[in-house]
Amino acid sequence: MALSKSHAVSIALLAFFVCAVVSSDPDPLQDFCIGDLNVVPGINGFPCRNSSAVTVDDFIYSGIVNSSNTTNINRSGAIFGTVLRFPGLNTLGLSIARLDFLPEGIIPPHTHPRASEMVYVEEGTVYAAIVTADNRLFARVMNRGEVMVIPRGLIHWQMNVGRTNAKIIATLNSQLPGIQFIARSMFGSRPEVPNEVLEKTFFLDERGIDQVRSNFV
C-alpha cells in the first residue's frame, strides 16, 4: 500500500528525531554531582551527594602530587585519579593519571577500553607508541612539553629512553577508563589461560610460558 505524502513526511521526521536522540549525550541537569562512593554506582556513575555538604575540597585532587612507586620489574609506576579516588569527577567523563619512569622504565602495552587519552611529557624523554587495529605502528621519541593523543581502545605504551627519570601526565575522557595490560591479561589471569592457547598464540613452549607467568605471580 502506497504511503500518503503526509505519512511519508511524518516517518521522515520520526527518523530524524530518533537519530538526534541517540547521537548525543543529554545535557547535565545540575552544575555538579559529587559522587557518593558509599552507594553502588549505576550505568552513568554514582548517585550525587547532598549538594549542601559539598566543599571546595571536593573539586580538588592531591593524589598525583607525589611520585608513584617505581620499584618493580617495569621500573615505572602510575597513580590514577578516577572517580573512585576523586568523586568530583562523577558524571563529567574525565580522569587523570600520573606516570613515573626510572631510566629504561616502561608502561607496558595496554589499552583503555572506555576512553581516549592524551599524554603530556612533563619531564624527560619517552618513546611513545600506538598500534592500530590494522597493525600499523605509530611511534616516536617525545620530549618535554609534547603531547600525544591515543584513540580509545588502541594498544599503546610509553618507555623512558633518557638518562634521567621521566614523568607523564595523562588525561582520559572517562571517569572510569579501565586498563588492560596485554601480557598480564594473557599470562597472569585467573583462572589461567590454557597453555595450548598461549603456545599457538605466542609460539612459546611450556618452559617459556612458565617463565613469563612467573613475572605475574
Which residue ranges are tagged as binding site for oxalate?
112, 117
Contacts made by residues 63-71, CB under 8 angstroms, sequence distance 24+: 64/96, 64/97, 64/98, 64/169, 67/98, 67/100, 67/167, 68/98, 68/99, 68/100, 70/100, 70/101, 70/102, 70/105
- Which residue positions form the known binding site for Mn(2+)? 110, 112, 117, 156
Bridge partner list, 172: 95, 117
- Which residue positions form the known binding site? 110, 112, 117, 156
Compute the C-alpha angle 164/169/170, nearest 5°: 135
Taken in order 86, 88, 91, 95, is the CA torsion positive or negative?
negative
At 176, the amino acid letter reads L
* Closest-CA residue to 115 (of 46, 171, 43): 171
